[in-house]
Chain A
Amino acid sequence: MNLWLMAGGGVCLSLIPCAFLCLTGKAERRLVGFQMASLVIILALVIFTVAFGRMPFIDIALTAAIMSFGGGIVFARFLEKHL
Chain B
Amino acid sequence: MTAHNIVITVLLSLVVLSCWIGSVGMWRMREPMQALHYLSLPACLGSVFLAAAVFVQTGSSQASWKTVIIVCILLAINSVVTHATARAFRTRDLGHWQPRPEDNIERIPKRRGEPA
Q: Which residues of A contact B (CB under 8 A)?
A: 3-4, 6-7, 10-11, 13-18, 20-21, 26, 28-29, 31-33, 35-36, 39-40, 42-43, 46-47, 49-50, 55, 58-59, 61-62, 65-66, 68-69, 72-73, 75-77, 79-80
Distance in angstroms between the alpha carbons of A13 and B63 in the assembled complex:
24
Q: How many pairs of residues, A versus B, come closer than 8 Å at their CB atoms?
A: 140
The A contact surface, by secondary structure, is: helix
Contacts of A11 in B (CB 8 A): 15-16, 19
Chain B proximity of A43: nearest CB distance (Å): 6
Contact indicator A43/B24 (Cβ below 8 Å): no
Contacts of B36 in A (CB 8 A): 32
Q: Chain B contacts of A49 at CB under 8 A?
A: 63
Question: Are A65's CB and B73's CB within 8 A?
Answer: yes
- Chain B: interface secondary structure? helix
B74 within 8 A of A: yes
Using A32-B32, A59-B66 as known contacts, list a sample of 9 further A-B pairs with CB atoms less than 8 Å apart, ordered by residue number in A.
Answer: A14-B19, A17-B27, A20-B27, A21-B27, A36-B22, A50-B54, A58-B67, A69-B77, A76-B81
Task: Specify which of A10, A17, A46, A75 is in contact with B70 (CB 8 Å cutoff).
Answer: A46
Q: Does B84 contact A (CB under 8 A)?
A: yes
Task: Indicate if the CB atoms of B19 and A40 lie closer than 8 Å.
Answer: yes
B61/A55 in contact, CB under 8 A: yes
